[in-house]
Structure 1
Amino acid sequence: MSLLALSGISLVALAGCSSDGSSDLERLAMPDPGTVEGESILSLWQGAWIAALITGVIVWGLIFYSVWRFRRRSDDEIPVQTRYNLPLEIFYTIFPIIMVVVFFSHTVRVQNEVLDDATPDNTITVVGQQWTWTFNHPYDGENVWEGGDGNRIPTLVLPVDETTRFELRTPDVIHSFGIPGFVMKMDVMPGQQNHFQVTPKEIGDYRGNCYELCGVYHSRMLFNVEVVSRADYDAYLQGLEEAGQVSDEPIIGGSYADEQVGIEEGEAE
């Protein structure tokens, strides 16, 4: 019966295989990165899993070998009880340290790529506030902004093939700014100026959200992402200016955050 059940599960799994499924397996369930920096994060993710699986196979193999090779037989005497094995214990101490050093060095390398302080092509001040997002874009010496409210999800527009730096700010509590398609997120903390940068590889649409439980309406902190051409990006910024969404400085909370709509008094109670 168990063999029949296992065969059935295998058939179902094979029936579900496709090119997309193969890609998911190759990426080890990580989304297909939409940015140059995301490719480095994906490589780090894959390398960590491969190293962990190799280590696991070696350890499991040694365990099963020892269980089988040194099992007690009916006519055997009790084997010699060894208290320690100095070479083996040294190996078990040194090898994990080497693994940690290698993992740490690759993590720092990828972190430096994502948090690179080189001058970006664009800088956007991202403000997380209870419970929506505001995106501030420098334009013609001014600041143009796009923000959401309780009735509307805001849209973050980015130019393709250009490096954009996100300056993360919040006037209230801890949020977390993340875009799954970019395989990157970072906390947005009061009084702390966090940042990271991305370089989108192709035109397309993505989804983003807050990854930190930030209050009762945390689930509303969604936003859309549109990667467009430079010409479309310039037209978008001009449209914000013509719509009157202009300020001298980036909007970080304040009156705009206090004017959130869509949460009825009865719902808030």
Structure 2
Amino acid sequence: MKKLVLFFFVIAFLSGCQMRVLNPKSDTADTLTDLIYLSFGIMMLVLIVVFVLFVAFLRKFRERGKAKFDIPPDEKENKWLEITWTLVPLLLIAILAVPTVKATYDLTSKVSGSAEGSQGDAMTVEVVGQQFNWKFTYENGKESYDELVLPVDQEVEFRLTSNDVIHSFWVPNLSGKIDVLPGEETRLSFEPREEGTFQGKCAEFCGAEHTLMRFETKVVSQEAFESWLEKE
């Protein structure tokens, strides 16, 4: 009973967390969330079928009276069952694989380690991860620490590098994770589609004060962004 109470306490605690992966606010996050829901749906389908068959077999073959001493006959061959349990997993894998491969290719242009991933009309933000903060530099030279301000409905390309160890740039509501490497530039782009404040963090343990590697991402209107950009 104590374990059950502890389980519900942990669930309630985590439900208050602001790092909401399944609450997408950008085009890239939409794609990733759809894949999560698809894989979860397939998993639940398999789980339900397994549990239904498990209960059915328990009821059918349970011990009762003299029958508990009977030895059931061996099932030597059933081609239809063999074909079924071979084709069904292949079908489920195909259902998951096709949209996953498509999404991977679609997102390839948004995640790159070279200039080939550059987005022509995108606004550029230079990102430097360092122990233990994030530095954001905009096209006009404005610098911001641990606060990322972005305009809504505007494609943004991030050019990321590290001054020391490997970090991982992650804003769950807006995009997936991407490693930030010392001495190498990686690129990521997405288009925020809703105004709001979203939590970002380093998803790679990077030292004793790793917990400080958090930042706020504020998505604002184009007018508010230009006004913020012009402030000293």
TM-score greater than 0.5 by the shorter chain: yes
DSSP-derived class of the 1:37 partner: helix
Q: State whether structure 2 residue 161 is matched by structure 1 residue 163.
A: no
Which consecutive unaligned segments of at least 5 residues does structure 1 have? 3-8, 148-153, 244-269
Deviation at 1:49, TM superposition (A): 1.1
What does residue range 1-269 of structure 1 map to in structure 2 within 5 Å? 30-76=21-67, 77-83=70-76, 85-116=78-109, 117=117, 118-139=119-140, 143-147=141-145, 154-182=146-174, 184-239=176-231, 243=232
Distance 1:183 1:83, change over 3 A: farther
Deviation at 1:39, TM superposition (A): 1.9
Q: Does structure 2 retain, via aligned residues, the 8 Å contact 1:37–1:113?
A: no
DSSP-derived class of the 2:142 partner: strand
Deviation at 1:144, TM superposition (A): 3.2
Distance 1:53 1:225, change over 3 A: same
Rounded to whole Å, the distance in 2 between the matches of 1:58 and 1:123 is 49
Aligned residues: 209
DSSP-derived class of the 2:24 partner: coil
Q: Which 10-residue stretch deviates more, 108-117 or 224-233?
A: 108-117
Deviation at 1:137, TM superposition (A): 1.6
Rounded to whole Å, the distance in 2 between the matches of 1:217 and 1:156 is 20
Rounded to whole Å, the distance in 2 between the matches of 1:105 and 1:192 is 32
Rounded to whole Å, the distance in 1 between the matches of 2:142 and 2:105 is 30
Give 2:114's aligned residue.
Answer: none
Deviation at 1:51, TM superposition (A): 1.3
Q: Does structure 2 retain, via aligned residues, the 8 Å contact 1:115–1:195?
A: no
Identity of aligned residues (%): 29
Deviation at 1:72, TM superposition (A): 4.2
